[in-house]
């Protein structure tokens, strides 16, 4: 090879390897749930790349004293991360305090707590993240010494009606939450979000009520948790067509995404789009659920939104199926079939009203699904929400055979998830990776908790805590996936506010979507398919942390 060519060859080798340096995260030595453990929890750390059998210590992080010693498990080859993994189990150690794990080669884990309130701050920050997503009002918070804020209400001109053919070219579509790292508002994604948040309220009301979220007074007389959801339902009501037909706009966005600017400076025109049947069904389900849950706090509102729900449910029958077509739009699609959305809507209409017509629809649709319960579900697949409400309903008239089939399916699904979590060194129950999978990882806490209600077994709660451990640092990156919380959290989420506000640290409390394989997550702002934030994933996180709050 000529010297020149050889030089070029070496240079290109170097250049080729440069992107690798940025992308191959350094493999940590010892990883652990960096938020910590309740005294009686199962407690494990994962030691990476060791033989097994060596001694490890739990050391008091304040005074350096060894408080517990144990032996590492045998090494287990983990194919998806291509590493030997050993478990350091210190469940027998139950004393509150701040600690770290030290291996016999001197390598250390991050610090973590054992205590009675370990999840409280994480829960509060994750739920307040919804408030910080509010559109149509200025928001602010102080976190870790930084002040995060918008200086004025954003998107006050929501929204134009050009695509609806209404007489006026504008009507009120302000409020709600931004969807994600972008500022759009999408009805279908609100569906799974609001549904999962309401489930958290129904299952963990007592614990949630004991936490002060310090929200502005936008829903007088409502408990804090529900106050935040009402900000969204107030907005969603505006997504129903003004013509009284009950059809619901699929989304309200610009025609194309904005750049990385603050929301209050985003003045591109935003439009209500045409309706879809999935959005209309989700709307009916959300409003029916809200009418029932909000009833004790505001009777008038509860009645009004139940009428809105009825109207949209009727629209499904009158107008039939309609997929959303993007047309002029290149913002989020959230295009999805409506079968699962209608299952959920029918059940919620029945639970809210007790009327036979809805029960008939609900049972016919619940029973004819090819998969009674989904393990792996998100915005495109919300039938689980209907199945859960049906099973927990105290109303009479349920079909016992269907009920038993659904229960059996729920328990079978949760047993599989618990097995997955307990046999995965990192505690993850989902065995797939894709855009937004961290949201599903969290949301599976709901599948597990439902089984725990139906057939109580400690393994479900252990699996839920193990999932929380995975999300908060017990993973191959040794990093928390939630901004501002836990060990070495994401610094560069795909979030327009975080990218545009001039503060290094991102807005706090948000879970990022995660890798598309076990090892390819990167903390880079441009990587929206791995490092964005979104309300549907966040609702999963809030459910998971609510379940963890319950000890």
CB of 155 to ligand 9MR, least distance (A): 15
Stretch that binds ligand 9MR, among 63-71, 75-83, 178-186, 423-431 (CB under 6 A): 178-186
CB of 193 to Zn ion, least distance (A): 16
CB of 184 to ligand 9MR, least distance (A): 6
- The SS3 call for residue 88 is strand
Name the burial class of residue 309, with classes exposed (0-12), middle (13-18) and buried (19+) by CB atoms within 10 angstroms of its CB.
buried
Tell whether residue 278 is a contact of ligand 9MR (CB under 6 A).
no
Tell whether residue 528 is a contact of ligand 9MR (CB under 6 A).
yes
CB of 182 to ligand 9MR, least distance (A): 4
The interface partner of residue 530, options being Zn ion, ligand 9MR, none and the CB cut-off 5 to 8 Å by kind, is none
CB of 187 to ligand 9MR, least distance (A): 13
Stretch that binds ligand 9MR, among 179-187, 204-212, 289-297, 304-312 (CB under 6 A): 179-187
- The residue behind tokens 């469940």 is 91
Measure the CA–CA gap between 425 and 308, rounded to whole angstroms: 48
Between residues 108 and 381, which has the closer beta carbon with respect to ligand 9MR? 381
Tell whether residue 382 is a contact of ligand 9MR (CB under 6 A).
no
CB of 299 to ligand 9MR, least distance (A): 35
- Residue 534 φ then ψ, to 5°: -165, 150
Measure the CA–CA gap between 201 and 369, rounded to whole angstroms: 27
Stretch that binds ligand 9MR, among 139-147, 312-320, 449-457, 526-534 (CB under 6 A): 526-534
Among 279, 284, 418, 534, binds ligand 9MR (CB under 6 A): 534
8-state DSSP, 76: E
- The residue behind tokens 């795909």 is 494
- The SS3 call for residue 377 is coil
- The SS3 call for residue 360 is helix
Which residues, 33 to 72, sit near ligand 9MR by CB under 6 A? none
Tell whether residue 333 is a contact of ligand 9MR (CB under 6 A).
yes
User: Which parts of this chain interact with Zn ion (CB under 5 A)?
Assistant: 135, 154-155, 263
250 counts as catalytic: no
Measure the CA–CA gap between 270 and 184, rounded to whole angstroms: 9
CB of 435 to ligand 9MR, least distance (A): 4
- The SS3 call for residue 336 is coil
84 counts as catalytic: no
CB atoms within 10 A of CB 155: 25
Beta strands in 80-221 (DSSP E): 83-89, 97-103, 112-114, 140-143, 146-149, 185-186
Cis bond upstream, residue 299 (ω within 30): no
Between residues 263 and 436, which has the closer beta carbon with respect to ligand 9MR? 436
Q: Which of 155, 178, 492, 494 is flagged as catalytic?
A: 494
Among 179, 282, 298, 363, binds ligand 9MR (CB under 6 A): 179
Measure the CA–CA gap between 426 and 14, rounded to whole angstroms: 34
Between residues 100 and 497, which has the closer beta carbon with respect to Zn ion? 497
CB of 332 to ligand 9MR, least distance (A): 3
CB of 49 to Zn ion, least distance (A): 46
Tell whether residue 329 is a contact of ligand 9MR (CB under 6 A).
no
Tell whether residue 266 is a contact of ligand 9MR (CB under 6 A).
no
Task: Tell me, residue by residue from 422 to 451, as one string, x for binding to ligand 9MR by CB under 6 A and - for no binding.
Answer: -------------xx---------------
The widest CA-to-CA distance across the chain, in whole angstroms, is 86
Tell whether residue 182 is a contact of ligand 9MR (CB under 6 A).
yes
Measure the CA–CA gap between 251 and 274, rounded to whole angstroms: 8
Between residues 179 and 361, which has the closer beta carbon with respect to ligand 9MR? 179
- Name the residue with the smallest CB distance to ligand 9MR: 332
Those residues with Cβ within 8 angstroms of residue 149's Cβ, 6 or more apart along the chain or in another chain: 138, 139, 140, 141
Q: Is the dihedral of CA 460, 461, 464, 465 positive or negative?
A: negative
478 alpha carbon, distance to own chain's centre: 20
- Residue 336 φ then ψ, to 5°: -160, 150
User: Residue 192 has which token pair?
Assistant: 């799974």
492 counts as catalytic: no
Those residues with Cβ within 8 angstroms of residue 24's Cβ, 6 or more apart along the chain or in another chain: none
Q: Which of 182, 224, 339, 378 is flagged as catalytic?
A: 182
The interface partner of residue 195, options being Zn ion, ligand 9MR, none and the CB cut-off 5 to 8 Å by kind, is none
Between residues 97 and 268, which has the closer beta carbon with respect to ligand 9MR? 268
Between residues 303 and 526, which has the closer beta carbon with respect to ligand 9MR? 526
Those residues with Cβ within 8 angstroms of residue 197's Cβ, 6 or more apart along the chain or in another chain: 225, 228, 229, 539, 542, 543
User: Residue 322 has which token pair?
Assistant: 């309609």
Query: Pairing state of beta strands 55-60 and 66-71?
Result: antiparallel
Measure the CA–CA gap between 482 and 489, rounded to whole angstroms: 6
The interface partner of residue 263, options being Zn ion, ligand 9MR, none and the CB cut-off 5 to 8 Å by kind, is Zn ion
CB atoms within 10 A of CB 541: 30
Task: Tell me, residue by residue from 208 to 247, as one string, x for binding to ligand 9MR by CB under 6 A and - for no binding.
Answer: ----------------------------------------
Residues marked active site are found at 182, 494, 523, 532
- Positions that interact with ligand 9MR (CB under 6 A): 179-182, 184, 257, 332-333, 435-436, 528, 532, 534
């Amino acid at each position: 090879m000529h010297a020149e060519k050889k030089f070029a060859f070496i240079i290109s080798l170097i250049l080729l390897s440069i992107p690798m340096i940025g992308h191959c995260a350094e493999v940590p030595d010892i990883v652990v749930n960096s938020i910590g453990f309740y005294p009686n929890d199962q407690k494990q750390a994962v030691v990476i790349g060791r033989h097994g059998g060596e001694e490890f210590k739990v050391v008091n992080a304040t005074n350096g004293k060894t408080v517990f010693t144990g032996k590492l498990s045998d090494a287990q080859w983990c194919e998806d991360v291509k590493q030997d993994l050993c478990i350091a189990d210190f469940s027998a150690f139950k004393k509150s305090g701040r600690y770290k794990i030290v291996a016999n080669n001197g390598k250390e884990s991050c610090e973590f707590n054992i205590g009675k309130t370990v999840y409280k701050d994480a829960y509060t920050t994750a739920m307040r993240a919804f408030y910080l997503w509010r559109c149509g009002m200025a928001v602010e918070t102080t976190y870790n010494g930084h002040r995060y804020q918008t200086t004025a209400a954003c998107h006050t001109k929501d929204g134009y009606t050009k695509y609806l053919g209404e007489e006026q070219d504008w009507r009120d579509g302000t409020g709600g939450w931004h969807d994600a790292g972008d500022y759009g508002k999408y009805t279908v994604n609100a569906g799974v979000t609001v549904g999962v948040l309401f489930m958290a309220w129904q299952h963990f009301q007592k614990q949630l009520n004991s936490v002060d979220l310090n929200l502005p007074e936008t829903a007088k007389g409502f408990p804090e948790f529900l106050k935040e959801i009402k900000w969204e339902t107030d907005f969603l009501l505006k997504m129903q067509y003004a013509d009284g037909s009950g059809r619901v706009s699929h989304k309200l966005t610009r025609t194309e995404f904005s750049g990385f600017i603050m929301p209050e400076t985003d003045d591109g025109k935003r439009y209500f789009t045409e309706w879809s049947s999935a959005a209309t069904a989700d709307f009916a389900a959300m409003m029916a659920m809200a009418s029932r849950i909000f009833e004790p706090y505001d009777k008038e509102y509860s009645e009004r939104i139940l009428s809105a729900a009825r109207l949209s449910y009727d629209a499904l029958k009158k107008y039939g199926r309609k997929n959303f077509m993007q047309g002029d739009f290149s913002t989020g699609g959230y295009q999805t079939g409506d079968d699962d959305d209608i299952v959920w809507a029918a059940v919620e209409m029945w639970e809210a009203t007790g009327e036979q017509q809805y029960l008939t629809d609900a049972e016919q649709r619940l029973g004819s699904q090819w998969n009674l319960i989904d393990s792996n579900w998100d915005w495109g697949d919300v039938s689980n929400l209907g199945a859960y409400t049906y099973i927990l309903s105290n109303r009479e008239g349920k079909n016992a055979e269907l009920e038993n089939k659904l229960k059996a399916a729920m328990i079978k699904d949760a047993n599989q998830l618990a097995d997955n979590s307990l046999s995965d060194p990192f505690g993850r129950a989902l065995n797939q990776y894709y855009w937004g999978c961290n949201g599903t990882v969290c949301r599976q806490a709901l599948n597990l908790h439902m089984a725990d209600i139906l057939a109580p077994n400690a393994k479900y709660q252990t699996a839920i805590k193990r999932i929380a451990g995975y999300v908060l640092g017990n993973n191959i990156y040794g990093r928390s996936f939630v901004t501002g919380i836990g060990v070495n959290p994401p610094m560069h989420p795909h979030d327009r506010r975080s990218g545009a506000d001039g503060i290094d640290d991102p807005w706090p409390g948000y879970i990022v979507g995660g890798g598309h394989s076990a090892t390819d997550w990167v903390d880079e702002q441009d990587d929206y398919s791995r490092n964005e934030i979104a309300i549907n994933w966040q609702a999963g996180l809030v459910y998971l942390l609510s379940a963890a709050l319950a000890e």
